[in-house]
Chains A and B, each alone.
Chain A
Amino acid sequence: MNSFFNAVKAVAKRELNAYFNSAVAYVFIVIFLLLSGFFTFYVSNWFEAGQADLRSFFQWHPWIYIILVPAIAMRLWAEEKRLGTLEIVLTLPLKPSEVILGKFIAAWLFIGLALGLTFPMVLSVVYLGQPDLGAIASGYLGSFLMAGAFLGIGTATSAMTSNQVVSFILAVVTCLFFILAGYPPTINIISGWAPLWLIRTLENIGFISHFSSVSRGVIDLRDMLYFLSFMILGLYCNSLLLDWQRQR
């Protein structure tokens, strides 16, 4: 167990260093903060709304993640393949699960850091009114878990190819599907003709319905499990893809 932890830590540490050694980390954090501020203040008119909560902040997260999380995930495997360093990593005395988990955790922590840097938002609401801090904490938790689910998709598409652009596009399209699946406008369009079971299924597999309740402060175990199972599924696909490529 200890060696498992150390191995995961070694991989995660290298990945985190790789983000910060290149411009990726700084570009990502700045764009994430700018976009979340822009949407909250200019698109949702947070100040005019006069509500001391962060719902208009969280509601944009799926749309920000759809671009930024694939951008973070795309290099995880594709770059190793292009550089040939995958041969070094996979011939170290590490289990594939340790490498996969280490990479995932590094990227997830990194997104978590960017999310954490939005704390001035929280300070603003606390300064301006009496917000429900529980709902805000729940929103952050939900957003972090949702980012993990996006990342699950991103690591799997990165393992498919040695081309980061291909990985990025595949991840964006897949994430878009899961956002649109439960997105109210989509549901409205199909609700006229589609059978009820299809509507329910789409609602259930989509990100939005699971995220919106968490971001309102309703922590439902089913929503947590939904995001967790997404991550597990993504990582499992990741390991199958790697295994298949070595088998080929």
Chain B
Amino acid sequence: MIRVDELTKTFGSKTAVDKVSFTVKRGEVLGFLGPNGAGKSTTMRMITGFLRPTSGSISIDGLLLAEKPVEVRRRLGYLPENAPVYPDMTVEGFLAFCAEARGYRGKSKKLKIGAAIEQCFLAPVVHQRIGTLSKGYRQRVCFAQSILHDPPYLVMDEPTDGLDPNQKHEVREMIRRMSRDKAILLSTHILDEVDAVCQRALIIANGRLIADDTPEGLRRRSSSYGTITLVLGNAVTDRLKKRFEALEEVKEVQVVSQTEAEVILRLIPARREPASAARILSQLEAEQDLLSFAVDRGRLDEIFRSLTGGSNGTGRFTENDQPAGS
């Protein structure tokens, strides 16, 4: 388990990371969300031991990073932001250096390099200089470096940044495959990614942790979560509205749009939970004019914006939502 406790980093008078605490367990992919400059990279750099915290502590498997830096780093794989690599080295040469620096020799070194090359699909470019490779391949080379020693813990700073949709998909697949037996902390500002690979997400803004929840839990905070959108082929809006308002558990009915042919209504249930929406829908079974319906699952980008955008939004949900670690 990675345990981060009251981690703080100040650069001069600016507090980049402010008393951040959380844990990541094995088998879990934790998404680290936040606008640019929120302190994601700084936090990750401290966890990997590249920067030293101003205060607070980091431990992995109970070992304190400050006391046993080499031991801790042995258990960590790190993919830094922008996937830095040595352009003058070949893919194989670079991985060989990382393997040797991690203490592998002879046969075990060969095995580790081979496995990393295979896992990251680098076989076609093994002997090429990294500087001649495309951005996607470079990303994979750096990725290969981070998983070479099969570490139980992985820290990845924007692993899909700058990749095309196919490459993004591949990287997410790799992360998903590896998440079974590793603890993975990844930062991103792509919200789909959180839904796609993370079991849990942290949102950080201005150096502070403002949410620690499952993607589902975050979406639940969205104002549209649990509302039901109905498309009906009947233009007599008022009558429909009244009828739906009379249904059990419906708090409010809004008219979204209305044309000659169809009406779109939004039903706002009294309680925002899937079961409530299901009960409302079951009452609509006899509704002959119903063309289609959808239950809104909430939107992460809305939550992200309301939590991190501007001074009004910041901290709006902090009252009731202490980080899960506490």
Q: Residues of A at under 8 Å CB distance from B? A: 3, 6-7, 9-11, 13-14, 17-18, 21-22, 83-85, 87-95, 246-248
Smallest CB-CB A-B distances: 10 pairs? A84-B84, A10-B100, A87-B80, A21-B88, A93-B73, A93-B74, A91-B48, A14-B97, A92-B101, A10-B101
The reply to whether A91 and B76 contact each other, CB–CB distance below 8 Å, is: yes
Question: Contacts A83-B86, A87-B45, A88-B80 hold; do A246 and B101 have CB atoms under 8 A apart?
Answer: no
The reply to whether A6 and B73 contact each other, CB–CB distance below 8 Å, is: no
The reply to whether B84 and A95 contact each other, CB–CB distance below 8 Å, is: no
The reply to whether B100 and A6 contact each other, CB–CB distance below 8 Å, is: yes
Q: Which of B49-57, B184-192, B261-269, B288-296 is near enough to bind chain A?
A: B49-57
Q: Does B105 count as interface, using CB distance less than 8 angstroms? A: yes
Question: Contacts A87-B50, A246-B51 hold; do A93 and B103 have CB atoms under 8 A apart?
Answer: yes
Which residues of chain A have C-beta atoms less than 8 A from B145's C-beta?
A: 88
Which residues of chain B have C-beta atoms less than 8 A from A89's C-beta?
A: 101
The reply to whether B49 and A90 contact each other, CB–CB distance below 8 Å, is: yes
Q: Does B237 count as interface, using CB distance less than 8 angstroms? A: no
Q: Does B324 count as interface, using CB distance less than 8 angstroms? A: no
The reply to whether A88 and B89 contact each other, CB–CB distance below 8 Å, is: no
**For A6, A7, A92, A94, which residue has the most chain B Cβ atoms within 10 angstroms?**
A92
**Complex A-B: 19 CB contacts under 8 Å:** A3-B103, A6-B103, A7-B101, A10-B101, A13-B97, A18-B88, A18-B89, A21-B89, A83-B87, A84-B84, A88-B78, A88-B84, A90-B50, A91-B73, A91-B78, A92-B73, A93-B71, A93-B102, A93-B103
CA–CA, A9 and B145, complex, Å = 19
The reply to whether B50 and A246 contact each other, CB–CB distance below 8 Å, is: yes
**For B74, B84, B85, which residue has the most chain A Cβ atoms within 10 angstroms?**
B84
Question: Contacts A10-B97, A88-B145, A247-B52 hold; do A17 and B78 have CB atoms under 8 A apart?
Answer: no
Question: Contacts A17-B89, A18-B89, A90-B49 hold; do A85 and B84 have CB atoms under 8 A apart?
Answer: yes
Which residues of chain B have C-beta atoms less than 8 A from A18's C-beta?
A: 86, 88-89
The reply to whether B73 and A85 contact each other, CB–CB distance below 8 Å, is: no
Q: Which residue of B lies closest to A9 (CB)?
A: B100
Which residues of chain A have C-beta atoms less than 8 A from B52's C-beta?
A: 246-247
Question: Contacts A246-B50, A247-B52, A248-B11 hold; do A92 and B86 have CB atoms under 8 A apart?
Answer: no
**For A10, A88, A89, A94, which residue has the most chain B Cβ atoms within 10 angstroms?**
A88
Which one of B51, B84, B97 contacts A83 once the chains associate, using CB atoms below 8 Å? B84
Q: Does B126 count as interface, using CB distance less than 8 angstroms? A: no
Cβ distance B25 to chain A, nearest Cβ, rounded Å = 22
> Considering the complex, which residues of chain B in the window 138-192 have a beta carbon less than 8 Å from any beta carbon of chain A?
142, 145
Cβ distance B142 to chain A, nearest Cβ, rounded Å = 8
User: Could you mark each residue 92-107 of chain B with 1 if its beta carbon is under 8 Å from any beta carbon of chain A, else 0?
Assistant: 0100011011110100
Cβ distance A91 to chain B, nearest Cβ, rounded Å = 4
Cβ distance B49 to chain A, nearest Cβ, rounded Å = 6
